[in-house]
A and B are shown apart, each in its own frame.
Chain A
């Protein structure tokens, strides 16, 4: 067959575009347009949906809808359960903590199930803080001259007091004002130290003085918010003092006999020890003020052991009664707490005192709402809701002491007494937090009743439900009540529209506290998960959520991998749903990266495809939401970090590549196309990122498309050599495309995908400028070679279709100006400027391609392939019609031949033929297309015979 030369038609793209374009009729604002409402909602939906409302239109059009299929995966699948392995670090930590606990047990008289004061101590100090100025007023000190004339009355008082306290040699008033909380703590610590020093240097009286002055501070309720912490600090000093006194007296006994046993009887103590001990008690009994007298006596309660067997059991009730004299309810409840604490330490078997304390407390409870307290609150500018929370540390402690190993009957009685007091919320809360969980659980309906009756002023109900809930988490309520409990609790919980950070934090902290011992959390993952879900459901601002201190520690409790991943999924899901704006908040980023990493790390060889997809979707959602604004470099380094973190999830890598590409394009946009040296380098870094990431992907078409895409981005950013590299990589990858690929679990022939990709590729190649060191159109040539060598399906015409496309490309390339360009990139049209050599090369290529096509057409002359021949012929005809210059005789003749070929065996669709002919006739009416009239005459229509 003769070789047909190719002459491409000169195109005036602009004119063609103008002639083809539909006339645009501007739409008046109020006019109806079927698409209009959708576009309007589209722009709105994103906002609406992300705010969390669920209008039907928004949810259908939004991308962040939860995949309905994912719900199937909610349960832990058996495979990932196998995969879960114990974390060695966590195990070690657990062992460590249990060891620590054992150590602690040895120290205390009571059992290990009694939560020691030391646990509470830090908590109270952390919780009750103040920014207000504090003052320490001490009637002693070494500087005698300090008490000026203004405080004459004071020093008189001091003198009388000094008389009482016998030989206080140095006395002056020392008032430290305007202390910050830290200063205050430091001062108290100093006092503690000076107490020890005084004791060590045998200045017993000075030591006693220090202790008295310190405990006197406890009667001062100014800056009331700080009171609980003050209590903790000062009782530390008292504890030190009690220990010192006891040890000294004990050592006096040691002198005479060899060693005194731990549980000695008073007869074993010698007279000197007894006398010293008695002296202390007499001295303390003469302390003028009630509160110091109480505290100091309580602190050396243990010393009663030296005097008589029944000393402690006589002393405790007396001290209990003594507290009745303390008017301020807050001061008195803390005094009770201290007494209970000392009592539990010294004589845990003496339960009566504890109970008495409790009942006395109930009796004085009404004082909280009395005038004196109210006036005080007004003076200090403290509201009741912030005043009441000062009580729980002390109350909880008292209740805890009482309920420790207490018989059921006692607890019931206590509850009854509480009930009589009009169901005060504060009481109820402490009851629930201190009593045994089983006890609460079995009476949960009663409790709910009581909670409902509580009046809400001062103490919010949801905190009560929280306490109840904590108990129920530890012990199961009766089966029959469960639903009702849930219903009641739910009513209140739903009222909590704006959960506050602090409250949530306390809830979480409490849960952690309850669940951590003995790894109790292992048994209640579902409940914990539920908590997380609730928290997430209420926190839409993730920066707030992650600033909840206990949130991450809470997450750490999920140590079983499958559960942890589930929780992580929930969090990410919520994040994607609720995060409205891109974020760069380091708190969020750190936390979520951690969460994502956890999810990613759960992927292993056994992970289901669906699971992977789900995880990828979530992680992608996160990555898309991260934006450092104009700090592109930070953004890129984030992507680099993400790549190293999420290397096992292909979709995430794809997303990252797209993100980086987008970043490059953003940079270009910011620079308005003119890269500075710095941005150029940055863009090249982006390109390099893509280039090295793509090969790690498995999907061949993913790789191909990404190469192409990244190449386009590189080109757009004037990184020509990089773009070339991408395209070369893509070309070299084409031979590796398998014939069949797996799509959604089915094997499909890959050719159609390849065709699609190549067409896309060709469109890009049009504008890729030739490399000066390579031949003309080297990329196209290389690609053609690859196509040539590719082993195509035997019975397919894809190769020819591709060649047809190549023909289109080549003819587009031979135009004077190309159809499209990239800003700031000179394509071949301006590089060669229509150089004849270039055109000749181009035409040569065309000829080769055409020869290939025609040859293929010839091979289709067999019976079974006639239909294919006809359609291919027609498509080739169309290509010539569209792109070829039909004024050229040979080409004209070829097209006529093809027309006949298409019709030859009656395989052609008549209607298509008629349409084509009509098109030619229509085209011929255009100014420089008159030659088509002639052509049309030469194209007969085959009539059906």
Chain B
């Protein structure tokens, strides 16, 4: 048979904003003519929330998964039942992205516990003999530029053994104690496993150009290793998402890593500034979002690995926005 259904969105980057008109074509291509019981197109936007096992326990997480929140939903019938001729048939469509009431068109975001996703689904109903054909296609929504002037908020920081919190006061002997934490709780400076007295001396200075970030612009800054007794193995930027899901029992807050970008490899030159530079990945980041039901926030950790096995992190909450 070989009937293919495809949705082509007009914009190559598939990015639309609230108030715009999502347009495109549905393409039906077949060698023979196709009998069908109607073709419909559905646009849907939902927020999926999931409670993490860590916060509420495995079973609860399984059963108590929060109901998805629907943002937008509309269906149109494109073609009445009939027959498509053989070859390629293109059916144009348009969806105005208008919202009713006080609903907000959140920006597309793919997270772990929070997912905001917009899809177009095209269904072709067919007779009993042939299976129905379905094609889904995601499109991306960018929230409208935030009002108000964007003000950069630079941060200077200095890291020395003295500034560290969470230094463990006893030495450990276990085989691999310092596995890299997949996330570090916000607002803490910490170092793994060693007494403060045993820590090698070091002095790191740096600054972030702004913790208020424009999502399309990279995170920038500088880091200078002024001195370090121990050789540096690596310096990394860890982008962390902090997702909070509210529900009846309270709320669950989880931090997970989005990406880890190494900015220094090996024992870098002392006194020479190393650039801090990170592009915010698309889909996995969105402007910082706070709603009644859920929150999506971002943080960045500067992770310094020293020889032989010291790990130092410095945490900075970020505020992402789109202008």
Chain A positions near chain B (C-beta within 8 angstroms): 164, 219, 270-272, 274-275, 278, 281-282, 285-286, 288-291, 293, 318, 321-322, 324-328, 331, 360, 363-364, 366-367, 370-372
Q: Which residues of B contact A327 (CB under 8 A)?
A: 232, 264-269
Q: Which residues of A contact B266 (CB under 8 A)?
A: 326-328, 331, 372
- How many Å from the CB of A67 to the closest CB on chain B? 63
> Are B268 and A164 touching (Cβ within 8 A)?
no
> Are B259 and A321 touching (Cβ within 8 A)?
no
Chain B positions near chain A (C-beta within 8 angstroms): 11-13, 231-232, 235, 259-269, 272-275, 277-279, 281-282
- How many Å from the CB of B276 to the closest CB on chain A? 10
Across the interface, B231 reaches (CB within 8 A) one of A286, A331, A371, namely A371
Across the interface, A288 reaches (CB within 8 A) one of B12, B259, B268, B277, namely B259
- How many Å from the CB of B11 to the closest CB on chain A? 7
Q: Which residue of A lies closest to B223 (CB)?
A: A325
Q: Which residues of A contact B11 (CB under 8 A)?
A: 271
Q: List 8 A-B contacts (CB under 8 A).
A: A270-B12, A282-B282, A285-B278, A285-B279, A325-B274, A326-B268, A327-B269, A328-B265
For the complex, give the distance between the alpha carbons of A328 and B267 in Å: 7
> Are A290 and B264 touching (Cβ within 8 A)?
yes
> Are B12 and A275 touching (Cβ within 8 A)?
yes
Q: Which residue of A lies closest to B279 (CB)?
A: A285
- How many Å from the CB of B272 to the closest CB on chain A? 5
Q: Which residue of B lies closest to A161 (CB)?
A: B260
Q: Which residues of A contact B274 (CB under 8 A)?
A: 321, 324-325
> Are A219 and B269 touching (Cβ within 8 A)?
no
- How many Å from the CB of B183 to the closest CB on chain A? 13
Q: Which residues of B contact A321 (CB under 8 A)?
A: 274-275, 277
> Are A324 and B275 touching (Cβ within 8 A)?
yes
Across the interface, B265 reaches (CB within 8 A) one of A164, A275, A326, A364, namely A326
For the complex, give the distance between the alpha carbons of A289 and B268 in Å: 15
For the complex, give the distance between the alpha carbons of A284 and B79 in Å: 42
- How many Å from the CB of B232 to the closest CB on chain A? 7
For the complex, give the distance between the alpha carbons of A325 and B274 in Å: 5
> Are A289 and B269 touching (Cβ within 8 A)?
no
Q: Which residues of A contact B278 (CB under 8 A)?
A: 285
16 further A-B contacts with Cβ under 8 Å, apart from A270-B12, A271-B13, A281-B279, are A275-B12, A282-B279, A282-B281, A282-B282, A288-B260, A289-B265, A290-B265, A322-B263, A324-B264, A325-B235, A325-B264, A327-B265, A328-B266, A331-B266, A367-B267, A367-B269
Q: Which residues of A contact B235 (CB under 8 A)?
A: 325
Which one of B269, B273, B282 has the highest number of Cβ atoms from chain A below 10 Å of its Cβ?
Answer: B269
Q: Which residue of B lies closest to A326 (CB)?
A: B265
Q: Which residues of A contact B265 (CB under 8 A)?
A: 219, 289-291, 325-328
Across the interface, B261 reaches (CB within 8 A) one of A286, A324, A360, A366, namely A286
Q: Which residues of B contact A278 (CB under 8 A)?
A: 13
Which one of B231, B264, B267 has the highest number of Cβ atoms from chain A below 10 Å of its Cβ?
Answer: B267
Considering the complex of A and B, which 3 residue pairs feature the smallest CB-CB distances, nearest first?
A327-B266, A271-B12, A325-B264
Q: Which residue of B lies closest to A291 (CB)?
A: B265
Across the interface, A275 reaches (CB within 8 A) one of B13, B268, B269, namely B13
> Are B279 and A324 touching (Cβ within 8 A)?
no
> Are B267 and A274 touching (Cβ within 8 A)?
no
| Contact of A325 with B282 at beta-carbon distance under 8 Å, contacts A274-B12, A318-B275 already known | no
- How many Å from the CB of A164 to the closest CB on chain B? 6
> Are A372 and B275 touching (Cβ within 8 A)?
no
For the complex, give the distance between the alpha carbons of A322 and B218 in Å: 14
| Contact of A322 with B267 at beta-carbon distance under 8 Å, contacts A164-B259, A282-B281 already known | no
> Are B231 and A372 touching (Cβ within 8 A)?
yes
Q: Which residue of B lies closest to A156 (CB)?
A: B179
> Are A325 and B275 touching (Cβ within 8 A)?
yes
- How many Å from the CB of B238 to the closest CB on chain A? 10
Q: Which residue of B lies closest to A164 (CB)?
A: B259
> Are A363 and B269 touching (Cβ within 8 A)?
yes
Q: Which residue of B lies closest to A371 (CB)?
A: B231
For the complex, give the distance between the alpha carbons of A827 and B71 in Å: 132
For the complex, give the distance between the alpha carbons of A328 and B266 in Å: 6
For the complex, give the distance between the alpha carbons of A204 and B277 in Å: 26
Across the interface, B277 reaches (CB within 8 A) one of A318, A363, A364, A370, namely A318
> Are B272 and A364 touching (Cβ within 8 A)?
yes
Q: Which residues of B contact A366 (CB under 8 A)?
A: 269
> Are A324 and B273 touching (Cβ within 8 A)?
yes
| Contact of A325 with B281 at beta-carbon distance under 8 Å, contacts A271-B11, A289-B262 already known | no
Q: Which residue of A lies closest to B283 (CB)?
A: A282
Q: Which residue of B lies closest to A327 (CB)?
A: B266
- How many Å from the CB of A873 to the closest CB on chain B? 110
- How many Å from the CB of B278 to the closest CB on chain A? 8
Which one of B13, B232, B268, B273 has the highest number of Cβ atoms from chain A below 10 Å of its Cβ?
Answer: B268
For the complex, give the distance between the alpha carbons of A328 and B234 in Å: 11
| Contact of A322 with B261 at beta-carbon distance under 8 Å, contacts A327-B268, A363-B272 already known | no
- How many Å from the CB of B284 to the closest CB on chain A? 9
Q: Which residue of A lies closest to B218 (CB)?
A: A285
Q: Which residues of B contact A282 (CB under 8 A)?
A: 279, 281-282
- How many Å from the CB of B235 to the closest CB on chain A? 7
Q: Which residue of B lies closest to A278 (CB)?
A: B13
Q: Which residues of A contact B269 (CB under 8 A)?
A: 324, 327, 363-364, 366-367
Q: Which residues of A contact B281 (CB under 8 A)?
A: 282, 285-286
Q: Which residues of B contact A281 (CB under 8 A)?
A: 279
Q: Which residues of A contact B273 (CB under 8 A)?
A: 324
> Are B260 and A290 touching (Cβ within 8 A)?
no
Q: Which residues of B contact A326 (CB under 8 A)?
A: 264-266, 268
Q: Which residue of A lies closest to B10 (CB)?
A: A271
For the complex, give the distance between the alpha carbons of A366 and B231 in Å: 15
For the complex, give the distance between the alpha carbons of A271 and B277 in Å: 26
| Contact of A288 with B262 at beta-carbon distance under 8 Å, contacts A274-B12, A363-B269 already known | yes
- How many Å from the CB of B115 to the closest CB on chain A? 16
Q: Which residues of B contact A272 (CB under 8 A)?
A: 12
- How many Å from the CB of A137 to the closest CB on chain B? 16
Q: Which residues of A contact B264 (CB under 8 A)?
A: 290, 324-327
Q: Which residues of B contact A318 (CB under 8 A)?
A: 275, 277
> Are A324 and B262 touching (Cβ within 8 A)?
no
> Are B272 and A286 touching (Cβ within 8 A)?
no
Q: Which residue of B lies closest to A331 (CB)?
A: B266
Q: Which residues of A contact B232 (CB under 8 A)?
A: 327
Q: Which residues of A contact B13 (CB under 8 A)?
A: 271, 275, 278
Across the interface, A325 reaches (CB within 8 A) one of B12, B260, B268, namely B268
> Are B262 and A322 touching (Cβ within 8 A)?
no
Q: Which residues of A contact B272 (CB under 8 A)?
A: 324, 360, 363-364
Across the interface, B268 reaches (CB within 8 A) one of A274, A324, A371, namely A324
